[in-house]
Amino acid sequence: ASGLPLDPSAATLPPPRLSLRKLGCVPRTVRRPGFEVAALRPGILHLGCGAFHRAHQAVFTQRAIEAAPGPEPAPWGIVATSLVRPVARNTLHPQDGLYTVLERGPDEVRAEIVGTVREVVFVPDAPAAVLARFTDPAIQLVTLTITASAYCLHPSSGRICPDHPAIQRDLHSGTPSSALGVLVSGLAEVRKAGRRPPAVMSCDNLESNGRTLRQAAVDYAALRDDGLANWIAHAVQFPSSMVDRIVPAATVLDAADATALLGLGDDAAVSAEPFRQWVIEAFEGPRPLWEAGGAEFVTDVAPWEASKLRLLNGTHMAIAYLGTLAGLGTVASFVADPLFADYARRFMLQEQMPTLPPSGHDIEAYAHQLLERWRNPNIAHQLSRVGRNGSQKLQPRLLASLRDNLRAGRPVSCTLLAIAAWICCASGASGPAQAMEDPLAGELTRLSEASGDDLGRLATSVLQLEDVFGCELPRLETVRTELADLMGQLRAHGVHRTVANLLG
Ligand code: CS2
């Protein structure tokens, strides 16, 4: 018994939390911010402080500050706000905004402490203070990672939906709580103060995200004040950007791994794959030296955006629904099956690649690289997460290319199989265990119940959701019958046999 500690409770005391004071104690194997974090002044207001932001833009910004000359850190600290949940505030406050990014490669994990997030605000706690930041002369940029569904758009037209509950809530309460509401009210403050507006950059996976955000902000402003709408349309820059890094939702395993590597507690740690990419439409005015982190500034983001949305995000959707129906849990487990990997490759090369705008990009190499990234066994990217809100994401990721291919007489069966799988999951037709979170889940379940066992009827009624499918696709008899047939095959034979039949 001589090896036992005298006080057993002492052995289980948690380590102290990561904080500015403790930063000097972390082992040398962990990368630390290469600037004096306490001296970093804010320059960016960010909406949506989720795991993606923390593993993407905040890391590029860290590189930019590290590369900037001068004794003082370049003033690009981030004031990060979250709108829906207070998790970021609760975990980052006690850590002085510091957290670890665990870069999980196939063979090793590297840890980096990020120091660019200098303030974290939960908007419902202090809405007026957030709006006041828009007129803070230090804030030069406003960036957003709020996810596609928070843009409150009609999926098929890409214009805002004034009846959206988040917009209605804002209009009735007078205090904005939606991201669009905060953005437009903040810009209204800038206009009232007669200041030069910050550039506003969407970092979400949307088609022409800069133009889409501008239109959404203008439409939203027009619900209140045409003068404001007109000013936003003309005075504010909305550069587009293509962002890419696979970042699963943070888990307790991330916190535990970070704690083991740092010797300090970190409840805000996030995991990410080693790959990261950011292509930004050039804009005027001051900005961080994001190139130092590998970002590219270009005149037109469209070719990058199209291949990213259609090959990466579109195939992700196909993987999410087919994988869920096959009883799998992660993207990596799907592509580990050679038949499913063949399906993903065929889908990308035969049905998505032909629809891309001309560019000098090597799309085959890109598809190959994507399969390698998805295979990373240390990234547990949950299918339930990748597949949520499908009704809001189908249009740019699957339906746009489906239409192009139908018009050009090219093959579409891999795409239709992905849509058939979405209908099975999102309508609950394949059972509650495979149901996906979706704003239209209630409506889809109703359609499924009304159709009973008649898959043809279910396909027809789902296709008639004009907000999702527009009005052209539902009229195409071949789309309807093929979808119903594929849903029948999935139900009767399971995913493996259906995919094997399809690939021939
Ligand atoms: C995914 C993306 O959940 C999803 O919609 O497709 O989050 C994807 O992992 C990122 O866009 C990768 O950059």
Ligand 1 centroid to Cα of residue 313, in Å, is: 6
- Distance between CA 124 and CA 145 in Å, rounded? 18
Which amino acid residue places its CA nearest to atom 5 of ligand 1?
Answer: 386
Q: Which residues line ligand 1 (CB under 6 A)?
A: 205, 244-246, 312-313, 316, 385-386
For residue 140, pLDDT over 70 is answered with yes
For residue 156, pLDDT over 60 is answered with yes
pLDDT at 7: 61
Which amino acid residue places its CA nearest to atom 3 of ligand 1?
Answer: 386
pLDDT at 190: 98
Looking at the CA of residue 393, tell me the nearest atom of ligand 1.
5
Average pLDDT over residues 135-164: 92
For residue 90, pLDDT over 60 is answered with yes
Looking at the CA of residue 312, tell me the nearest atom of ligand 1.
6
For residue 351, pLDDT over 70 is answered with yes
Ligand 1 centroid to Cα of residue 140, in Å, is: 27
Looking at the CA of residue 205, tell me the nearest atom of ligand 1.
11
Chain centroid offset of residue 395 CA: 16
Q: In this predicted model, what pLDDT tens digit does every residue of 188-202 receive, in sequence order?
A: 999 999 999 999 999
Looking at the CA of residue 244, tell me the nearest atom of ligand 1.
13
Average pLDDT over residues 315-344: 98
- Distance between CA 1 and CA 389 in Å, rounded? 57
Ligand 1 centroid to Cα of residue 124, in Å, is: 27
- Distance between CA 174 and CA 186 in Å, rounded? 13
pLDDT at 5: 54
Ligand 1 centroid to Cα of residue 209, in Å, is: 15
Ligand 1 centroid to Cα of residue 464, in Å, is: 27
Residues 6+ apart with CB under 8 A from 243: 52, 56, 57, 145, 203, 204, 205, 277, 278
Q: How far, CA to CA in Å, does 13 sit from each of 5, 91, 256, 394, 419?
A: 12, 19, 14, 48, 51
pLDDT at 456: 92
Handedness of CA 365, 371, 374, 376 (dihedral sign): negative
Position 235 confidence tier, pLDDT thresholds 50, 70, 90: very high
Ligand 1 centroid to Cα of residue 114, in Å, is: 22
Looking at the CA of residue 317, tell me the nearest atom of ligand 1.
6
Which amino acid residue places its CA nearest to atom 6 of ligand 1?
Answer: 313
Position 1 confidence tier, pLDDT thresholds 50, 70, 90: very low
List the single range of 7-16, 40-49, 378-387, 463-472 with lowest mean pLDDT: 7-16
pLDDT at 63: 98
Q: What angle do CA 68, 72, 76 make, to 5 degrees?
A: 60
Average pLDDT over residues 8-24: 84
Looking at the CA of residue 387, tell me the nearest atom of ligand 1.
3
Residue whose CB lies within 8 A of the most ligand 1 atoms, among 202, 324, 376, 386, for a mutation test = 386
Ligand 1 centroid to Cα of residue 332, in Å, is: 14
Ligand 1 centroid to Cα of residue 381, in Å, is: 9
For residue 9, pLDDT over 80 is answered with no
Average pLDDT over residues 465-477: 90
Q: How far, CA to CA in Å, does 31 sit from each of 75, 99, 215, 268, 454?
A: 21, 12, 40, 16, 58
pLDDT at 2: 46
pLDDT at 14: 87
Mean per-residue pLDDT of the chain: 95
Position 13 confidence tier, pLDDT thresholds 50, 70, 90: confident
Beta-sheet strands, E only, within 203-286: 241-244, 270-272, 277-281
In the chain, % of residues over pLDDT 90: 91
- Per residue, the 3-state secondary structure of 215-237, as one string, reads HHHHHHHHCCCHHHHHHHHHHCC
Residues 6+ apart with CB under 8 A from 345: 367, 371
In the chain, % of residues over pLDDT 70: 98
Ligand 1 centroid to Cα of residue 386, in Å, is: 7
Which amino acid residue places its CA nearest to atom 10 of ligand 1?
Answer: 246
User: DSSP readout, 340-376?
Assistant: HHHHHHHIIIIIIGGGSPP-S--HHHHHHHHHHHHH-
Average pLDDT over residues 52-78: 97
Ligand 1 centroid to Cα of residue 330, in Å, is: 13
Between residues 345 and 154, which one has the greater pLDDT? Answer: 345
Which amino acid residue places its CA nearest to atom 8 of ligand 1?
Answer: 246
pLDDT at 11: 62
Position 316 confidence tier, pLDDT thresholds 50, 70, 90: very high
List the single range of 96-110, 157-171, 199-213, 264-278 with lowest mean pLDDT: 157-171
Average pLDDT over residues 353-361: 95
Q: Which of 401, 252, 378 is nearest to 317 (CA)?
A: 401
* Axis crossing angle, helix 179-193 with helix 226-235, rounded to the nearest 10: 90
Which amino acid residue places its CA nearest to atom 11 of ligand 1?
Answer: 244
Average pLDDT over residues 179-190: 98
Q: In this predicted model, what pLDDT tens digit does every residue of 283-312 receive, in sequence order?
A: 999 999 999 999 999 999 999 999 999 999
Amino acid (one-letter) located at 127: P
Ligand 1 centroid to Cα of residue 387, in Å, is: 10
Average pLDDT over residues 367-379: 98
- Distance between CA 277 and CA 99 in Å, rounded? 21
